A and B are shown apart, each in its own frame.
Chain A
């Protein structure tokens, strides 16, 4: 039962990822990415990571993609170049490199296959906000504070770059 749900979510993720990469309309790409993020959130939930599933939907689908949508609307991009419309050698090399990277990871996954059969979802209750929040505020406090610094720097940088320069 759980594995069927996982396979369905995985199929949705792969198909919508293809719809992000191939179609020419940026809005189509963006909305397929939303579908992919929801499939990813479903997979996180299956794996027992409730907090991350919520974060995935709230931060990615809620905040980051709205930002993308704003920019697409602001720049008024309708149709862009077709997928792989560059030089043929470029398209060929790109496909080969992508297939090679995917193949390497698949081989590594295959080598790891006999190590462990897998575990039941939610075997250990580590995915809720309580253990994650506790770890963030104790063991990983420095990294957590550093992320806040990074976000402030990103805000300032984006504001500076987006400012209209006076001629």
Chain B
């Protein structure tokens, strides 16, 4: 195997690009589901940043424990994303029932 090392900054750059795309989706879409999916992209790009640094620290036996912690953080982020998806989707079902649409601009009672 001609092992060519991947610079971990490539992973970090991919994470940045994905985060920007996700931010764009959250800011520019008004449909609740689309905003939620963009949010999932942002969570995944954060995971990728954790993975990049875990990858970087895994190269060195002295810092290998930090690499393990990075992976555990990704695990926890995935678990929190699952909880967040369940509650958020329940909220959107409620919004649809109340307003007849999941356009987030319709939920404006708390707006002044």
Pair B19/A157 contact, Cβ less than 8 Å: no
A123 to B68, CA, bound (A): 13
* Contact pick for B94, options A43, A48, A135, A162, CB 8 Å: A162
List the count of A-B residue pairs having beta carbons below 8 Å apart.
265
A75-B92, A101-B19 given as contacts; is B71 within 8 A of A2 (CB)? no
Pair A6/B6 contact, Cβ less than 8 Å: yes
Pair B71/A161 contact, Cβ less than 8 Å: no
Contact with A along B65-101 (1 / 0, CB 8 A): 0011101101110111111111101111110100000
A135 to B72, CA, bound (A): 8
Contact with B along A20-64 (1 / 0, CB 8 A): 110000100110010011001001101111011001100110011
Residues of B close to A64: CB separation below 8 A: 40, 81-82, 85
Pair B6/A2 contact, Cβ less than 8 Å: yes
Q: SS class of chain B's interface: helix, strand, loop or mixed?
A: helix
Closest A residue, CB atoms, query B56: A116
Pair A102/B19 contact, Cβ less than 8 Å: yes
Pair A119/B23 contact, Cβ less than 8 Å: no
B107, CB-defined interface residue at 8 Å: no
* Contact pick for A14, options B18, B24, B87, CB 8 Å: B18
Pair B29/A127 contact, Cβ less than 8 Å: no
Pair B54/A161 contact, Cβ less than 8 Å: no
Contact with B along A92-114 (1 / 0, CB 8 A): 01110111011101101110110
Residues of A close to B33: CB separation below 8 A: 26, 29-30, 68, 71-72, 77, 80
A150 to B64, CA, bound (A): 29
Q: How far is the CB of A125 from chain B (nearest CB, A)?
A: 9
Residues of B close to A108: CB separation below 8 A: 12
Pair B58/A126 contact, Cβ less than 8 Å: yes
- Cβ contacts A to B, 6 pairs, < 8 Å: A3-B5, A26-B37, A29-B37, A48-B58, A124-B61, A132-B68
Chain A positions within 8 Å of B, measured between CB atoms, are 1-3, 6, 10, 13-14, 17-18, 20-21, 26, 29-30, 33, 36-37, 40, 43-44, 46-49, 51-52, 55-56, 59-60, 63-64, 67-68, 71-72, 74-75, 77, 80-81, 83-86, 90-91, 93-95, 97-99, 101-103, 105-106, 108-110, 112-113, 116-121, 123-124, 126-127, 131-132, 135-136, 140, 143, 147, 150-151, 153-155, 157-159, 161-162
7 additional A-B residue pairs with CB within 8 Å, beyond A21-B41, A63-B82, A95-B27: A26-B31, A36-B41, A40-B47, A80-B31, A126-B68, A158-B90, A161-B90
